[in-house]
Amino acid sequence: MKKTILILSIFTISLFIFGCTTNLEQSMQDMINQYKGNEIVNTFYTAMETKNYDLLDPHYSEEFLEVSSKEETEQFYTSINNKLGNLIDYNITYVNFETMSTLGGTTKTTVLTISSSYEKGEATETLTIIEKNGIEKLHGWNINSKALILN
């Protein structure tokens, strides 16, 4: 009897964990799908593909441009392109949200993890998008790739 209860308990716990994991995976997939059509994401990767970085001008946050000027940022993009080659494909793999409310309003921060393929290697990129007063802006970008060091 004790063995039967133990087996049923393990089975029930396993089903619960599987159910929670399945729901989390579905929720993540829903969030990823939501950002596949995002204007900033699409414009960012169109700019990378076409090397027309001016497309990004209306999408930079003030804070982004305080860290690096437009000219420095474009030099960085060009350098990355020279090292990695042309962008082949990209896929959003993870989405993380954070919302902060203050007396000045609400700011929503979204960090997207993106797996990207270039001619000379693979990369993991993060795009940080902030939304203030219903307006989304590109707040940050990071790229990690072995090919940046090896090429």
Give the span between the Cα atoms of 126 and 111, in whole angstroms: 7
Mean model confidence pLDDT for the chain: 82
For residue 56, give the nearest of 39, 68, 80, 72 by alpha carbon: 39
pLDDT of residue 25: 56
- Can you tell me the distance from the alpha carbon of 7 to that of 17, in angstroms, rounded to the nearest whole number? 15
Task: Say what the pTM is.
Answer: 0.75
Assess whether pLDDT exceeds 60 at residue 107.
Answer: yes
* pLDDT at residue 23 is higher than 50: no
Who's near 13: CB < 8 A, 6+ residues apart? Answer: none
Q: What is the mean pLDDT of residues 27-42?
A: 74
pLDDT digits (tens, 9 = 90+) for 109-132: 999 999 999 999 999 999 999 998
SS3 content of the chain, % helix, strand, coil (to 5): 55, 35, 10
**Tens of pLDDT, residues 90-106:** 999 999 988 887 777 88
At residue 57, does pLDDT exceed 90? yes
Flag whether pLDDT at 143 surpasses 90: yes
Judged against a pLDDT cut of 80, whether residue 60 lies above it is answered with: yes
Q: Within a 13 Å sphere around the CA of 74, how many CA atoms are in the beta-carbon half?
A: 12
